[in-house]
Amino acid sequence: MKIVIVGDGKVGFTLTKLLSKEGHDLVVIDSNSDVLRESQEALDVAVVTGNGARVEVQREADVQHSDVLIAATSSDEINLLCCMVARKLGCRSTIARVRNPAYDSQLRLLKEELGLSLSINPERAAAREIFRLLQFPSFLKRDSFAKGRVELVELKLRHDNALVNRKLSELGGFARLNALICAVDRDGEITIPSGSFELREGDKITIAADAAELANLLRQLNVGAQKAQSVMIVGGSRIAEYLAAMLLRAHVRVTIIEKQRARCETLSEALPEVMVIYGDGSQKDLLLSEGIRQTDALVTLTGMDEENLIISMFGNYIGVPKTITKINRTEYAEVFADKGIDTIVSPKLLTADEIVSYVRAMDNTAGGSVVTLYSIAGGSAEALEFFVKSDAPYLNIPLYQLALKPDILIASIIRARKVILPKGGDSMQKGDTVVVVTPAERAVCDLKDIFVEGAFDAPAPIMLP
């Protein structure tokens, strides 16, 4: 597809990198020619220098003949204006990053008039991700499919875990819990395991499970299922404001430490039930005096990755049960995995996942299009949700008869609100929702893409003499 990206900042560059790998025809617009030059050299994409909200700049980028325009500048207003201009020029779909919560109700009301196909709030998405993790602090990552009926959760195996040194074929209890281990991260190497795979201490495993069985699953694995009752947030960002509001509704005690007095006053007015501390959250003495040792969870949300990492490492060092770290430069995440930085949240990656999911859904819908997409196992694998169409070529065929490409796993089938963790004799039926796990480099756009090429071709006719 032909895609135009306006804004070459953190989110824009991440999107350009992901979409260029999938073979799309990309044009990037930005007013900073130096930044564009770096993207052009690194990713081999076309660039246009200028204000992406101007008609002449969009025409130069050939927006009028494009399938999608993605507006990801730092300004909500410019992003919305870019989308309006693009739709007037004839662009098929437009996506805007909109961060200001004051625009939420207006966007729902004026989506059609603004020409928006999709709007994304990275801060709200990050806050929602953190909140869900705090509900089950033992998980390193938690993603939801099929309107919350299926969960993909990541867990690190400690030495006392019942799964250590056992083969997957020996885990009969998982079947009773409607759970399936679908990916294993061992020292940075990702495996989509078979029954003969043996788990080891330190493995990070991704489990597909019936959402109703999550608490039972944790008890079976002998890991804590207690929700966080008190949370300390360092950094009074917009993510912190969203997160604190969600936690208050769940009756969780919240403390926010912020070093800008004006922001403290704003937070105190907006969230009167939150204890807002004016001070530098990177100072050890302040953290200790404000009760970091007694908190159930520490969430670091300052504007600097380095600060967030160091504060989280300190929290882990003194025994805080759960630490969650916001970072933007995710390429270094694996370096800190052994330093107590297991749970990382990246607003730019959450935004990129949602946009890539939308683009793939547009790209090909012959066999069942992408509904939801999440990066898992440190970005080395993807979990995708598909809706099965009535004319799909694989309907009602037992799974053992279907030829899947290597390293692909059908993790679950959701049928009439029932979660099925599939076995060889199960099949996909019209209207099912299917969750698939695949290596990230596969870039699966359609459910039929998980099968070997020619799997559903009609047999060649027999020529009689």
Q: What is the predicted pLDDT for the residue at 309? A: 92
Highest mean pLDDT among 51-60, 385-394, 420-429, 452-461: 51-60
Q: What is the predicted pLDDT for the residue at 279? A: 96
Q: What is the predicted pLDDT for the residue at 456? A: 67
Q: What is the pLDDT of residues 288-307, one digit of tens each?
A: 999 999 999 999 999 999 99
Q: What is the predicted pLDDT for the residue at 147? A: 83
Strands 253-258 and 230-234 turn out to be parallel
Q: Which two tokens stand for residue 47?
A: 């660039």
3-state helix, strand, coil in the chain (%, to 5): 40, 25, 35
Asked if pLDDT for residue 63 goes beyond 90, the answer is yes
Confidence of residue 329 (pLDDT cuts 50, 70, 90): confident
Q: Which two tokens stand for residue 276?
A: 């807002």
Burial class (CB in 10 A: 0-12, 13-18, 19+), 460: exposed
Asked if pLDDT for residue 459 goes beyond 60, the answer is no
Rounded CA gap, 164 and 170, in Å? 11
Instruction: Convert 273-291 to b/e letters by CB count within 10 Å (16 or more is b).
Output: ebebbebebbeeebbeebe
Pick the CATH number of 127-220 from 3.30.70.1450, 3.40.50.720, 3.40.50.300, 3.40.50.11540: 3.30.70.1450
Rounded CA gap, 176 and 213, in Å? 10
Q: What is the pLDDT of residues 189-209, one digit of tens each?
A: 888 888 889 999 989 999 988
Contact by Cβ (8 Å): 237, 258: no
CA atoms within 13 A on the CB side of 464: 0
Q: How many CB atoms lie within 10 A of CB 84?
A: 18
- pTM value is 0.84
Domain with CATH 3.30.70.1450 in the chain: 127-220, 352-450
Q: What is the predicted pLDDT for the residue at 234? A: 98
Residue 72 CB contacts under 8 Å (≥ 6 apart), including other chains:
5, 6, 7, 9, 11, 12, 15, 79, 97, 351
Asked if pLDDT for residue 336 goes beyond 50, the answer is yes
Q: What is the predicted pLDDT for the residue at 463? A: 47
Pick the CATH number of 230-320 from 3.40.50.620, 1.10.357.10, 3.10.620.30, 3.40.50.720: 3.40.50.720
Percent of the chain with pLDDT over 90: 49
- 120 forms beta bridges with 97
Rounded CA gap, 378 and 67, in Å? 30
Give the closest residue to 315 by CA, choosing from 339, 331, 334. 339
Asked if pLDDT for residue 364 goes beyond 60, the answer is no
Q: What is the predicted pLDDT for the residue at 220? A: 76
- E strand map for 170-274: 179-186, 189-191, 204-210, 230-234, 253-258
Residue 384 CB contacts under 8 Å (≥ 6 apart), including other chains:
357, 370, 372, 373, 374, 435, 436, 437, 438, 444
Q: What is the predicted pLDDT for the residue at 47? A: 95
Q: What is the pLDDT of residues 177-191, one digit of tens each?
A: 678 888 999 988 888
Report the mean per-residue pLDDT for the chain. 87
Q: What is the predicted pLDDT for the residue at 175? A: 58
Q: What is the predicted pLDDT for the residue at 365? A: 54
pLDDT greater at residue 221 or residue 33: 33
Q: What is the pLDDT of residues 68-113, one digit of tens each?
A: 999 999 999 999 999 999 999 999 999 999 988 778 777 777 777 7
> Between the CA of residue 211 and those of 129, 198, 437, what are the distances in Å?
16, 25, 17
Superfamily designation of domain 352-450: Regulator of K+ conductance, C-terminal domain (3.30.70.1450)
Instruction: Convert 305-337 to b/e letters by CB count within 10 Å (16 or more is b).
Output: bebbbbbbbbbbeeebebbbbbbeebeebeebb
Q: How many CB atoms lie within 10 A of CB 65?
A: 12
Rounded CA gap, 94 and 74, in Å? 17
Q: Which two tokens stand for residue 277?
A: 């501390």
Which amino acid, one-letter code, is at 303? G
Rounded CA gap, 288 and 88, in Å? 56
Rounded CA gap, 377 and 445, in Å? 19
Contact by Cβ (8 Å): 226, 266: no
CATH code, 2-120: 3.40.50.720
Q: Which two tokens stand for residue 4?
A: 């135009």
- E strand map for 105-221: 118-120, 141-145, 150-156, 179-186, 189-191, 204-210
Which amino acid, one-letter code, is at 292? I
Rounded CA gap, 39 and 45, in Å? 7
Rg for the chain (alpha carbons), in Å? 23
Percent of the chain with pLDDT over 70: 92
Domain with CATH 3.40.50.720 in the chain: 2-120, 230-320
Q: Is the torsion defined by CA of 181, 186, 189, 193 positive or negative? A: negative
Q: What is the pLDDT of residues 379-426, one digit of tens each?
A: 788 899 998 888 888 899 999 998 899 889 999 999 988 999 888 899
Q: What is the predicted pLDDT for the residue at 460? A: 43
> Residue range 224-248: average pLDDT?
91
